[in-house]
Amino acid sequence: MLSFAIIGAGRIGAVHARSVAAHPAARLALVADPDGEAAARIAGSVGSSGVRSTTDVADVFAATDVDAVIVGSPTRFHVPQIVAAVEAGKAVLTEKPVDLDLARVDECLAAVGDRADRVMVGFNRRFDPGFAEIARRVADGEIGALEQLTIISRDPAAAPAPYLVGSGGIFRDMTIHDFDMARFLLGEITEVSAVGQNLDPDIAAIGDFDAAVVTLRGANGGVATIINSRHCAAGYDQRLEAFGPLGSLEAANHTATAVRFNGRGVSGSSGPYLDFFLQRYEHAYSAELDHFITAIESGVAPSPSLRDGREALVLADAATVSATTGERVRLGAPVSA
C-alpha cells in the first residue's frame, strides 16, 4: 500500500485523487494547495475518511505517512517540489513538462542524481491502451522496423490566452506529449523541422502558434510527423499511425458510443470524438498510476523518466527554433533515452 500526497488541487490534481482512491494498492493521505478550500474539497471528494489537506506544501515533504508525491502544481513549481520531495525520501510522479527551461531541468537532474529512478514524468499517453498496444506490437516486430510515424493531435479548442501566455508556446505545452510519443515509438531523434501556423490572431498576438507540423528524423532512419492544431470541430483528435515494411497499425479516434446513424443523404455517422483529455485518457491516467505504484513498490525505475522529460523539452526547444528561423535543427548531442 503506497500512501500519496498530491500537490495542486486543480483539474489534474482531481483526476489523480480519483485514480489514487480507486487503486487497491494506494491511499490518499494529503492534498496541498495555496487555495485551502480547493485542497480540502479534493481531500473530501474521494470517499475515504482521514485525507488531510494543507495550504503549506512543506507539510507534504515533512509528512511521515507520505510515501509518494504527485506534483500537479503550475509548471514553474515542478522542479523545486520534485527536488524537495526526493530529498525527503519520497517517490515522485510529476506532471509534464518538468520545466519550460532546459537549464532548470538539467539542474533538477543534477540535484536528484541517482534518485531519478524514483521519479516518473506523467506522459500519460504512453499508457493509453491503444497507443500502448501499438508500442507493444511494434516492439514485437509485427510491422517490421518502424519507418514512418504519423501523429495527429488536435485540441477541441484553444485554452484562454492568459493560460497560453505562460505556456512556453505550443511546442513546449502541447506538442511535448507528441515529442514524447515519437521518442517512445521511434527512439532517438537527430533532426527537427517545424512549421508553425498563425490562424488565430489572438494567439499570434501573444507570439505563439496555434497550429504546427513537425518532422522528426530518428537515428534509425525512421521519420515521425506531428500535426497539431489548437482547435478541432469534431472534438479531441488523437490519432497515430505506425508504418513499417510489414504493415501499419493505426489508433483511431474514440467516440462516446458505437452508435451510427444512416438516413437521408448520410450513412455510418457516429457522434463526435471524446471531448478532451480527461475523457479520452481516463484509462491512461489510471494505468499510469498503476505503473508508477508497481515500479516503486518493486524497486525498479518507473518510465517515462526525468530524462525522458528532458529530451521531450529538447525537441520542443528545437522545434521552436526551427519554426521561428525556418531552419532545420540538427541535434548536436544524441538524444538518449
Q: Which of residues 217-256 bind its own copies (CB under 8 A)?
A: 217, 221-223, 225, 227, 229, 231-235, 237, 243, 245-256
Query: Using CB under 8 A, which residues numbered 17 to 56 contact its own copies?
Result: 22, 24, 47-48
Q: Which set of grid coordinates corresponds to residue 94?
A: 510529476
Out of 61, 236, 273, 292, the residue judged to bind its own copies by CB under 8 A: 273
Q: Which set of grid coordinates corresponds to residue 71?
A: 506534483
Query: Using CB under 8 A, which residues numbered 54 to 83 contact its own copies?
Result: none
Gap between the Cα atoms of 10 and 172, Å rounded: 20
Q: Does 294 bind its own copies (CB under 8 A)?
A: no
User: Which residue matches cell numbers 514512418?
Assistant: 148
Q: Does 281 bind its own copies (CB under 8 A)?
A: no
Q: Does 268 bind its own copies (CB under 8 A)?
A: yes
Q: Does 193 bind its own copies (CB under 8 A)?
A: yes
- Count of residues that bind its own copies according to CB under 8 A: 72
| Nearest in space to 292 (alpha carbons), one of 55, 56, 83, 127 | 127
Q: Does 280 bind its own copies (CB under 8 A)?
A: no
Q: Which stretch binds its own copies (CB under 8 A): 35-43, 59-67, 143-151, 295-303?
A: 143-151
Contact 120, 98 (CB under 8 A): no
φ, ψ at 70 (rounded to 5°): -100, 120
φ, ψ at 263 (rounded to 5°): -165, -160
Gap between the Cα atoms of 256 and 143, Å rounded: 30
Contact 176, 218 (CB under 8 A): no
Contact 74, 50 (CB under 8 A): no
Between 81 and 193, CB nearer to its own copies: 193
- Mask 102-141, x = binds its own copies (CB under 8 A)? ---------------------------xx--xx--x----
Give least dist CB 8 to its own copies, A. Answer: 22
Q: Does 282 bind its own copies (CB under 8 A)?
A: no
Q: Which set of grid coordinates corresponds to residue 45?
A: 471528494
Give least dist CB 277 to its own copies, A. Answer: 16
Between 113 and 265, CB nearer to its own copies: 265
Out of 88, 102, 111, 195, the residue judged to bind its own copies by CB under 8 A: 195
Indicate the DSSP class of residue 256: S
Write the CB contacts of 160 (distance below 8 Å, at least 6 apart in sequence): none
